[in-house]
Structures are given as structure tokens and as C-alpha cells.
Amino acid sequence: MILTVTLNTALDLTYGVPALVPHASHRVTDLSERPGGKGINVARVLTALGHDSVVTGFAGGATGSVLRRLLADLPPGRAKLTDALVPVAGDTRRTLAVVDGTTGDTTQFNEPGPHVTADEWTAFLRSYEDLLTGAEAVALCGSLPPGIHVGAYAELIRPARAAGVPVLLDTSGEPLRRGIAARPDLIKPNADELAQLTGSREPTRATRDARRRGAHTVIASLGPEGMLAVTPDGSWQASPPAAVKGNPTGAGDSAVAGLLSSLVEGLSWPDRLRRAVALSTATVLAPTAGDFDRAAYEELLPRVAIEEHADGAA
């Protein structure tokens, strides 16, 4: 079982409009709602890949009830997805994505999330430590809701490491800065998050700097250029066979699922990167935001280019 933590879950709403025009009224032509938040998205892809997953974090209020109903109503995947979300009094946030039918561009609006009390955080910690007992790996994903201290991810990394469970941290800003000091096994920042952490926009220098700050392995998402991995065993860059156009929503979460699934399967770093890049690209190509196009994934996987950096181990 792979455990995914989404402290700031969301009900994801997607509106399709013929064209998005500022200051204008729009007729929505397509509407979808789905359970969201980065860790939930990761778990959906993991189950599609055949890995049992447990989602935890917080859910509350009327929106949280809808989210949990949608989780329960998800079509069966190749494996089991279990809801272990912890209830809170506040209302789970909503995110709104508006997709421009003319350009394909997406405009995103994200609510902050419910205020989590000290007692609710304590209840979550008890549940989280129990769930670690059966976990092969854990992903700590996304933003922190109001009320959660900025060092929360560092607090969650320590018991996972003590239990011998590999930890992937996928967040940004100060929670990433604090979390990396607790020495997660893997972080997966994008180029902007990495630059914010290290002050450098040169990918190789920035990934090495991030690793010196405490991460065992750093995998940087470089958008259409693929992913760069700096590990104790070496450095590699994986690139998709061609640039693609589509909706990038959830592409990073699919990459996390690829990294986690291949980690527990014991694949080599080049094969882990191939899977992550192919899944990410197939998510951009999917007709529904956050899903991945399986046929595209299977076609892309052997075509992802891998380049080993000459300097070898990081």
C-alpha cells in the first residue's frame, strides 16, 4: 500500500467555455467535479497503475461530504483506493479551473481551505502514524490549510523515516524549506519552486543545492524539457519525445505517482524517470483534466529519452 497525504484536499470544478474573455459574461459548455488535491490525484493514478493506495488528510463541511462521496463513487481501478481522511469542522476548499476552448489554456482559482484546529491536527497525527505501519511509501503533497504550522511536513517526515517508510515531499515555499531539513528521501519541485528554494535557475546547480540542504534525491520538473534527477547513484535527465499541447492540470501529480510506483517496484532510476515523464505527458494529452491517456502513456514510455550526466553521482 502507498499512502498519500493531502492536508488541503479540494473539490475540483472544471468549467469549459468557448473563449475566456476578461470582464465578460461566459456560458459554460462543460462542467465536471472531482475529488482533488495533489495527493488524491496521485492516488488515483497509482490505482490505475495497479497499486493499492490510501488517501489521508482533512475533509469537512458540505464540500468535504461531496468530495468523500465522489471518492467512494470512483470507477474501480486496477487496485484499491481507501479513504482515510480525518474530519474537520471547517469546509473543504474548492478549486475552479476555467478551460478556454479556443486556446486550450487553463485559468485556475484556488480557495485557501478550512482552518484546522490543534485538536484536529493531533487527531490526524495519531491516524497518520497508524497508517504508516502498512505503507510501502508515503507522499506528502500540496499546500497547507490555515491553522497548520509551516513545519508540518517536517513533523510528518520524521515518523516515516523512523518507521523505514520512504518519503516523497511535493510542496513549495516555506513548507518545502522546512520539510527538506527533515531529510525526505525524495523531493519533486518544479523549476520555479526550485529557484525559490535555492535562488538559482540553472537546473543542475539548483538540484545539487537542494540536495545539500537535506533531500536524499532531488527530481526537478522542467516542463516540456522533462525531468532532471540528482541522486546518490548518479544524475539523469529524461525528456519526452516531442512537445505536446493540452491541459497540464495534474501532470505533476501523475509524475509523482510514476516515481512512487516505480520506487516500490524497485526499478532503476532511468526507468523511474521514463515512467514519470511518460505519465506526465499522457496527462497533458488526456481529454479530462487530471486523468492520463493510457494508450498515449504506453506509446510514449519506450520513447522517453534518457541522458546520463557525465559527472555521475551527485
Give the pLDDT score at 290. Answer: 65
| Alpha-carbon gap, residue 255 to 206, rounded angstroms | 20
Find, among 227, 174, 217, the residue nearest to 197 by Cα. Answer: 174
Intervals of the chain under pLDDT 50:
312-314
Calpha distance 96→104 (Å, rounded): 15
Residue 160: all three cell numbers together: 516515516
pLDDT digits 0-9 by tens, 296-313: 899 999 999 999 887 544
Q: How far apart are CA 163 and CA 157, in angstroms?
A: 10
How far apart are the C-alpha atoms of 293 and 178, rounded to whole Å?
35
Task: Provide the pLDDT for residue 314.
Answer: 44
pLDDT per position as a tens digit, 41-51: 999 999 999 99
CA distance 158 to 156: 6
pTM value is 0.92
**Alpha-carbon distance 305 to 299, whole Å?**
13
Residue type, 209: D
Residue 170 C-alpha from the chain's centroid:
6
As annotated, the active-site residues are 253
pLDDT value, residue 224? 83
Closest CA to 186 of 162, 217, 140, 158: 217
Give the phi and the psi of residue 313 in degrees, each rounded to 5.
Answer: -60, 145
Closest CA to 255 of 232, 278, 222, 238: 278
| Residue 174, phi then psi, degrees to nearest 5 | -65, -35
